[in-house]
Structure 1
């Protein structure tokens, strides 16, 4: 069972999936849905099994009932509009809207709602070495907000740390406050077509190899080559993207105590 509205092009199939996969196979859910819509339970069964269709007012109530996010609510309403369309031309028009939503979800930047702020020239500097990002993130941890502590933690020269901090302060990524360096509010994410993507990945994959050589038991490394059905490739990718989203949700609420590197790869040879 998927339980993800974006995996469906038919809202009735989606609701069936939601109901069946709920505790006790959804027993009593149709009654609860009917109360939420102010209709009879028989009407819910009628809609789910054949005709008619829910209207948009009912769709909004169902969005609230199922706890849909804003993005999920919009797509659910599009599905209902698609099902209610009375002509092929209208269906095709609405289908384009469906595809637009799905295409935007494929873009990780849109999925994570991230905005860039560095100029192209500053991006080139930032991604020229792993040390810029490492020092940038370290300044979010109170224990490592001085030059001495950064030098000790990353085993870098004092000149190198000063050089990196000067750039980070100039670009607003780090703020200097009475001899201490604290992280700014800027969030950075490379577009998939950015010239810096290769360098960014290379920086941290190189550090990953060094981590393998260190052999610390708390580190995690996994690499595998598999044969897989073409239809399952996007499913695996979706699972990985969801995992990234879940990790980011945890990280967002987590107090800054340690610096950790996370790398994820999935590609076709």
Structure 2
């Protein structure tokens, strides 16, 4: 389903502490703007098969979220190729695709449209989305009044209303109360039993061990270890 071949993702990081656009333009004209190169991912090769549940672990800044954004097509790699076969439901950043000034009801249609759902489809699934999110009393409230847990409930409910071929999850199950975390995990397992390919990032190793078949450990943009979930998680724990 997903083939990542010799992929690197590099950024230019400006050395000078420039604080305004005017100062930046003046420094560019004078040739005083210099950059260092930072590689968030360095020559990564990964294959993920249909129906596989793959976890990505590593410390902050290891390149985990960058990898998920590349798979989702949000970013294009600096070098290398990524081949993805199947429809993707990405849950990359809490509230991404939401308009803070729109109500929760309006954001269902906005976020659903971003994910490729038609208005007719969202009309037919609206009640199911609200029921799963358990936000019945808040649907006419603007998103800016929501807590992070409430936003997570809504985002997860929209993204998983159908069975996508590929589900990408970045820490979203780690937010919210125990009740909804359990409910979300149950829904994830339903998707997995239906053959959905899942790639997820989490700092909660127990969650990774419970859900994932295989785990990839990233550090400094490189793969440290890849294999069975318990083996890789135990190796990661030993380094903490």
Q: 1 or 2, which has the higher strand percentage? A: 2
Give the alignment's TM-score, normalised by structure 1.
0.25
Structure possessing the higher radius of gyration over alpha carbons: 1
Give the structure with the higher percent helix: 1
TM-score computed with the length of structure 2 as normaliser: 0.27
